């Protein structure tokens, strides 16, 4: 198979924040110090080499790229200051943008001013649509879905979710096909025997349960570059709080909707704190706010190696998450404080618009990691099982 070299690849990666890795001469320091380097002893040097010689397809289909959590140890040990850790982060931005056929990700990552305009435009369009559909503001109780009718929120959410799913699936399928070709994996090989199915299930559990949710390798192997920090300030813990918090809010929203469907309660009405949907939502919201707040503080203070370089799109993503969580708690307050506050309706409008925008931007921001990293880890697990079996 012939590989075509893209002489512009390294320059393209630098648009996404990559350091000049042309200084890298493959000394091996980064591989030697990386706690996540696998047995073939080429990570992260292989990814850097792809960029140096213009191997775009190999870069796009690299599972190793997504096993890096940017602890920064490789950059600290680099004798030529090529900053391989930030290169890996930039390469993930490049891959995310490459799988996005709308080009929105590229705008957000490489055109800060235009990206800000796009973000603001998306918010005002969504908020304007909701406001155009709004009705009266009852004063005897906070009836949110009288102000903005429930069907409007519901069907707008369905439409946004459909766009996100279609865009995310398109990128996920492209990545999976590229990695499958590179790794020699076919659909038949995944299910052709009982042993093959067992490996497939094990790889799925590793990528989703153990790694994406459980954070095992991040927690146990990927050490912080500030190892004296307490556990509640660790990068893996902050990352986990953000992910688990978001999952908790998703579960709570689904429960609330389910209770409405079966006629137990109307969506958005006040319920006691011990109701599962509200309890899970409150805990999830606190976890999300904790994680996102520390992410923002770390980036503002350049607290660790991973927070040294921040793209405007990183801040956009974090601000959207934080505002979504904060306005959610303001709505909780407005539901229970007498007399009924008129500001609660406006906070609800902002909350729904921001939440919709956050969902809409999932495939185009750093949140896209929840789409692409599990795919890469799935193929990583399959390769690990194959290596173990042949050893």
Neighbours of 208 (CB within 10 A): 14
Contact assessment for residue 144 and residue 162, using Cβ atoms and an 8 Å cutoff = no
Model confidence, pTM: 0.87
Q: What is the predicted pLDDT for the residue at 322?
A: 93
Contact assessment for residue 288 and residue 267, using Cβ atoms and an 8 Å cutoff = no
Distance separating the N- and C-terminal Cα atoms of the chain:
28
Q: What is the predicted pLDDT for the residue at 130?
A: 94
What does 215-277 look like in DSSP terms, one character per residue? Answer: -HHHHHTS--SSTTS-GGG-HHHHHHHHHHHHHHHHHHHHHHHHHHHTTSS-TT----TTSHH
Q: What is the predicted pLDDT for the residue at 107?
A: 92
Q: What is the predicted pLDDT for the residue at 40?
A: 56
Contact assessment for residue 35 and residue 102, using Cβ atoms and an 8 Å cutoff = no
| Euclidean distance between CA atoms 311 and 313, whole angstroms | 5
Averaged pLDDT in 10-residue chunks for the chain of 391 residues:
73 85 82 75 80 90 88 83 87 93 90 90 94 88 86 89 91 94 91 92 94 84 65 86 88 80 70 79 92 92 78 85 92 84 92 92 88 93 83 59
Sequence-distant (≥ 6) Cβ neighbours of residue 156 within 8 angstroms: 126, 129, 130, 356
Q: What is the predicted pLDDT for the residue at 1?
A: 47
| Euclidean distance between CA atoms 53 and 265, whole angstroms | 60
């Amino acid at each position: 198979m012939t590989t075509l070299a893209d002489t512009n690849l390294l320059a393209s990666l630098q648009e996404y924040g990559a350091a000049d890795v042309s200084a890298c001469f493959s000394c091996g320091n980064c591989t030697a110090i990386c706690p996540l380097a696998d047995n073939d002893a080429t990570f992260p040097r292989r990814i850097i080499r792809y960029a140096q010689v213009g191997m775009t397809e190999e870069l796009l289909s690299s599972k190793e790229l997504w096993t890096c959590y940017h602890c920064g140890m490789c950059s600290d040990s680099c004798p030529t200051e090529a900053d391989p850790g930030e290169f890996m982060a930039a390469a993930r931005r490049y891959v995310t943008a490459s799988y996005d056929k709308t080009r929105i990700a590229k705008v957000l990552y490489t055109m800060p001013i235009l990206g800000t305009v796009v973000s603001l435009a998306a918010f005002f369009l969504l908020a304007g649509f909701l406001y155009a559909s709004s009705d009266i503001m009852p004063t005897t109780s906070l009836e949110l879905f009288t102000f903005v009718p429930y069907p409007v929120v519901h069907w707008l959410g369905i439409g946004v979710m459909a766009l996100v799913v279609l865009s995310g699936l398109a990128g996920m399928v492209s990545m999976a096909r590229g990695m499958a070709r590179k790794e020699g994996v076919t659909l038949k090989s995944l299910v052709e025997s009982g042993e093959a199915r067992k490996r497939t299930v094990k790889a799925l559990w590793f990528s989703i349960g153990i790694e994406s949710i459980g954070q095992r390798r991040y927690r146990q192997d990927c050490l912080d570059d500030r190892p004296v920090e307490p556990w509640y300030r660790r990068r893996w813990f902050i990352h986990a709080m953000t992910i688990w918090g978001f999952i908790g809010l998703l579960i709570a929203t689904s429960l609330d909707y389910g209770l409405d469907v079966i006629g137990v309660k109307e969506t958005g009405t006040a319920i006691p704190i011990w109701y599962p949907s509200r309890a899970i939502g409150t805990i999830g919201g606190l976890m999300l706010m904790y994680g996102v707040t520390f992410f923002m503080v770390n980036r503002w203070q350049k607290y660790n190696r991973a927070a040294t370089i921040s793209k405007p799109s990183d801040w956009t993503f974090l601000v959207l998450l934080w505002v979504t969580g904060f306005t959610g708690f303001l709505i909780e307050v407005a539901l229970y404080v007498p007399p009924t506050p008129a500001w609660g309706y406006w906070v609800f409008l902002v909350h729904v618009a921001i939440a919709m925008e956050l969902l809409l931007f999932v495939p185009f921001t750093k949140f896209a990691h929840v789409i692409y990293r599990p795919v890469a880890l799935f193929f990583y697990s399959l390769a690990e099982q194959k290596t173990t079996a042949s050893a």
